[in-house]
Amino acid sequence: MGSPGAGKTSTIVELIQRLRSRYRVGVIEGDIAGQIDAEKIDALGIPVVQLNTEGACHIEAMSIQHILGYFDLAEIDVLFVENIGNLVCPAEFNIGEDLRLAILSVPEGDDKVDKYPLMFATTDALLLNKFDMKPYFDFDDQKVEASAKEINPDVALFRVSARSGEGCQELTDWLCRKIDAKLAK
């Protein structure tokens, strides 16, 4: 979950590259319209289904339930769902996910946790994306971390750049531990 332009699709692409040798991955791409992001995932040879909400600001569990039939779930270990670019509505709706990752990009500013607390209170991990851009923006990552930990003491925080790969190995290692624990059940 994250704002438009935060790097949701770029992060999923980076994670696919890092996870695909270990897990079978699929993706549900949520957008209001279009299929640009689904085409990027499809080009990687990854099963993907585009979910267009046609104006709705979030994805609902029933939509996910209907989409699941398009996948051979016996052939998928990890299913990413990219929610609509929005810091409000997606946080309010449980869609049956095992983990929630919220992405906040450096260019968005360091005030988003304070302005949109529910998004960050309901996430398992907070990715500060485009972290390689920090020298060019007035962005206080320590403030963001303190605010996030205040409303969600258990949140895992990662400083990453989906473009350069900075910090992505730590995120991948964390995800692998979570995935392995889930698959072991």
At 152, which CATH number? 3.40.50.300
Q: Does 109 have pLDDT greater than 90? A: yes
Q: Is residue 158 part of a domain?
A: yes
Q: What confidence score (pLDDT) does residue 126 get? A: 98
The percent of residues above 70 in pLDDT, for the chain, comes to 100
Q: Taking residues 66-90, report their average pLDDT.
A: 95
Q: Is residue 159 part of a domain?
A: yes
Q: What confidence score (pLDDT) does residue 154 get? A: 98
Q: Does 185 have pLDDT greater than 90? A: no
- Domains: count for the chain: 1
Confidence of residue 165 (pLDDT cuts 50, 70, 90): very high
DSSP 87: S
Q: Taking residues 36-59, report their average pLDDT.
A: 96
Q: Is residue 22 part of a domain?
A: yes
Inter-residue contact 64 to 49 (CB < 8 Å)? no
Q: What confidence score (pLDDT) does residue 99 get? A: 96
Inter-residue contact 163 to 130 (CB < 8 Å)? yes
Q: Is residue 185 part of a domain?
A: no
Domain that holds residue 122: 8-180
Q: Does 49 have pLDDT greater than 90? A: yes
Q: Does 123 have pLDDT greater than 90? A: yes
Q: Is residue 41 part of a domain?
A: yes
Q: Is residue 169 part of a domain?
A: yes
Amino acid present at 7: G
Q: Is residue 82 part of a domain?
A: yes
Alpha helices per DSSP H over the chain: 8-19, 36-42, 61-68, 89-92, 112-115, 117-121, 141-151, 168-183
Q: What confidence score (pLDDT) does residue 36 get? A: 96
Mean residue pLDDT across the chain:
96
Q: Is residue 1 part of a domain?
A: no
DSSP 24: -
Q: What confidence score (pLDDT) does residue 172 get? A: 98
Q: Taking residues 54-79, report their average pLDDT.
A: 95
